[in-house]
Structure 1
């Protein structure tokens, strides 16, 4: 139990708007987005400024109290859920939701950690710019969480992950000191890159409070296409053709197995297949231009797809006639996770393999999983251009008790899939992080050098072990 006098000190620091120990107010934030992890916390701290975060962190360090940083609570791996023993407090960054500055001249936005991604999108659009990272949880995911997990999304092919979009960071370290690295310097050779250590650290070595983020020109002309293909190998060949013909204006290239499309059509009202032909695999493509010219984005995409059809790389294709239809195409992609949940119990994997090996992995790993675990079905979708596969193994039809099936089969299926990933030279986490869900598998599969480095960095920054305990970094002997 956390002493009542310590809770009183936090309450005095933050006031009634920044401190609550009301169980009903805290309850929604004790469970992860998927509902797999459930924690306990005596209080939730909600600082409104970096100074208040620093004061909370200093008090936590003095008293040896663990803190779990939390943004939109959209973690897919239980990375923002407190321990179930009540030993930690939640530190919510949601009140720190100001865009401190935004400039079209600098192509830069300085945002606090609690800014919701869609709010940043709107602010950038208002000045003729955009922040080129988007994902299904854009209406609730926060900038601090996206940085702490090095989020990816559907535009990594052209613009990279959060690592490529963060120009500077402000953070509070585990002893309460403030790291002010917001300056967007193109050249800075003062030793270790603290900014890059904090990106993807999942709140285990510090609390990101603000960031300088790179903006790009707004889209003046776009084209969105849906293509049916026979195999993922054909999809990769089509991507290479598009890159050769169109260059870096190809912003999105998503590959979806037909059963995944079928789940969306079955469970998401108002959706329909964009092409007349139901093919084994589908590709969603977006091409974006910063200005309006001739040929248009649609004309360029149409010419390239016509070549792909002539070369036998595609079976059918359609190009959205307007923005509404383009958004309808994208809605299918963004609804895949929701449709999978509605379909029934499943184990979901966010993994990456080298791009050249991704087509074979998508088909061979699915077939192997179905053979190894009779009655299951497996398929995938993902960002083909950057090798990120969202691979799902679904429970046998008629499984009523999903948690019981996961408890009985989960560990074996996890090991099977992750072993296949490692055998293909890949990573067991592409864009969702490690959290608590994958920590044991990281310990089992990572090299000794990798584990030693993670533990050494954690120990150097957080010797008391009070930053987001139980996440990312495996303990010695774990695995």
Structure 2
């Protein structure tokens, strides 16, 4: 190993080969601080050529590689295991915006660029990069691509697979695939881009990407809405699509406990309603029309929903500050739940038509099996993605409750599968859901995935032990 590490130091500089525990600590612990791995070294290359050089060294010495961006993942996909045999290859130094092509509406960026950095660069050109996540100040675009991240604007713009036109990738053999093509049509064989997106670094290392940009909306309309059931929320979504389909840029579901925890742990955020309801929807329209026209469209939708007795009440934001407060309430749910204590998270997707029945049936099953457990249900109802989280009873010992995690996961995932859904909508599989994947994927699917893995990474050095 001494020879390997010496060669790494020669390739990228001794100061960027981290060997001491104190230097490695931030790279080895997962975002939720539930697991910590061990690494032979943390390697911090500065460009694609250095990444390729390091991968060739790892292939030569048969050293496993764990690619890592901002390390904000939630499924233990970006940290190494406990063996200490792998290196963490951090892409944080690959953080340059290479080019912005306003005529083509694209931006070419390094994989280590922060999502917020890309959003701001687009904004400076009066354009929009629409991916929006609570972790946008710390997550990187490479990580977003590796997990096919979604966020709050998928209903309008799609997830990362739809937001990316081209990739630059270092293969498991240390070769560079120069696929940074800003083409919206390229029917020249297998779509390698889509294969690499969502692969969580198991097939290659994404080092750069060509991203789609959009015209920046000229106006927004934001409403916070009270509803008495999740069925009503689905009816409201159907109504909104009928009347405002091209304008809907956000449709977020929030249950009562989710909002209650936010008010409890972030009292500085202004309450929208004094009266509680079982569910809420945060609805956003965005348009190239005038503010008045967008406001009128939103107001008419609310009026129609009230007349149809779909909703109980609604507040339309009358200022940017009010709109930001509404979004802060939504985006603070995960942080509020973390302050409340430990919980069991599920990132699932379902056909929108089946979400209400799933929630009703699964809530009941969980209450019967684990009395007084608390449901923190929220997420991107517009694209069928729920963050369906189970918290301990208010007076329970959280560590004792987590003993039931496998049982709860099985119940929730079995129900998800029963209703035609997926056990991972946007967080990925990592190691956390690896065994669960074996339960729900068909033998044919798993065989195809394993064959692809063996073909592209025959030495099994690219993030081994993740996904399959």
Same fold (TM over 0.5): yes
Contact 1:366/1:379 (<8 A) preserved: no
Equivalent residue number for residue 405 of structure 1: 401
Equivalent residue number for residue 459 of structure 1: 454
Contact 1:249/1:288 (<8 A) preserved: yes
Contact 1:77/1:435 (<8 A) preserved: yes
Equivalent residue number for residue 53 of structure 1: 51
Runs of 4+ with >3 A deviation:
none
1:449 and 2:444 are equivalent in the alignment: yes
The CA deviation at 1:186 is 2.5
Contact 2:64/2:463 (<8 A) preserved: yes
Summarize deviations over 1:387-414 as a string: whole Å, max 9, x none: 1011011123333352x532x2111111
Equivalent residue number for residue 396 of structure 1: 393
**What is the number of equivalent residue pairs in this alignment?**
468
Gap regions ≥5 residues in structure 1: 474-479
Equivalent residue number for residue 103 of structure 1: 101
Summarize deviations over 1:423-471 as a string: whole Å, max 9, x none: 0000000000001100000012211111111111111111111011111
Distance in 2 of aligned mates of 1:344 and 1:247: 39
Equivalent of residue 320 in structure 1, options 310, 314, 317: 317
Distance in 2 of aligned mates of 1:329 and 1:393: 24
Matches within 5 A, 1:72-471: 72-292=70-290, 295-402=292-399, 404-406=400-402, 408-471=403-466
Distance in 2 of aligned mates of 1:59 and 1:379: 46
Summarize deviations over 1:192-220 as a string: whole Å, max 9, x none: 11101100000000000000000001121
Summarize deviations over 1:104-134 as a string: whole Å, max 9, x none: 2211000100000001111000000010110
Distance in 2 of aligned mates of 1:75 and 1:256: 22
Equivalent residue number for residue 25 of structure 1: 23
Contact 1:227/1:275 (<8 A) preserved: no
Distance in 2 of aligned mates of 1:21 and 1:394: 38
Distance in 1 of aligned mates of 2:380 and 2:359: 12
SS in 2 for 1:296: helix
TM-score, normalisation: structure 1: 0.96
Gap regions ≥5 residues in structure 2: none
The CA deviation at 1:5 is 1.4
The CA deviation at 1:35 is 1.2
Distance in 1 of aligned mates of 2:464 and 2:35: 14
SS in 2 for 1:369: helix
The CA deviation at 1:363 is 2.6
SS in 2 for 1:459: helix
Contact 2:392/2:398 (<8 A) preserved: no
Summarize deviations over 1:196-248 as a string: whole Å, max 9, x none: 11000000000000000000011210011000011111111111111111221
TM-score, normalisation: structure 2: 0.98
The CA deviation at 1:100 is 0.2
**376-385 or 111-120: which moved more?**
376-385
The CA deviation at 1:359 is 1.8
Contact 2:373/2:393 (<8 A) preserved: yes
The CA deviation at 1:269 is 3.3
Contact 1:171/1:179 (<8 A) preserved: yes
Equivalent residue number for residue 477 of structure 1: none
The CA deviation at 1:300 is 1.0
Contact 2:30/2:79 (<8 A) preserved: yes
Aligned CA-pair RMSD: 1.2
Distance in 1 of aligned mates of 2:295 and 2:445: 46
**180-189 or 311-320: which moved more?**
180-189
SS in 2 for 1:284: strand
